[in-house]
Amino acid sequence: MKLNVAELETPIGPILTIAGADGLCALGFGREPRGIRRWLERRFGEFDLSPVASLPRITAPLEAYFAGDLGALDRIEVDTGGTEFQQEVWKRLRKVRVGTTVAYGELARVIGRPAATRAVAAANAHNPVAIVVPCHRVIAADGSLWGYGGGIERKRWLLRHEGALGTLI
């Protein structure tokens, strides 16, 4: 499996984007994000990672998002892999509108699994394409921020950027 990797400088630090023929399959914060290689090995087995200057179908919409075009993320095709349940959660997460948030329990109810709050939280934690599958829009039932692999300060920045932070604790 051949995968391409491009680095993007953003207001929240460098981001690595990794894509195959079917779309973005991993996004990580930093230049050497933890866990990405393990995630890719579990998903693809052997793979070749080829550095490229840019992945226009991915980096251009991300750049537009950070420049203020908040709907630009919808233009990015994703290839997340994951279990059927994870894919269901991630697909629904992409429907959470910019400028809004959802609680873990509410998300579980929306997908028809009201008792699966912890499973939804676990799926959220294993999201391989943060920001694009907007797991930063998921908050605790009391409105507080917690549980973001990129760090709470990045989550806070993203929610502020999207105009959703004013109502949060």
Active site residue ranges: 135
- DSSP state, 111? T
Q: What residues contact residue 75 under an 8 Å CB cut-off, 6+ apart?
A: 61
CA 113 to chain centre: 22
Query: In a 10 Å sphere around its CB, with 0-12 CB exposed, 13-18 middle and 19+ buried, how is residue 135 labelled?
Result: buried
AA letter at 92: R
Q: How remote is the C-alpha of 70 from its chain's centroid?
A: 14
* Listed residue (110, 123, 134) closest to 81, CA to CA: 123
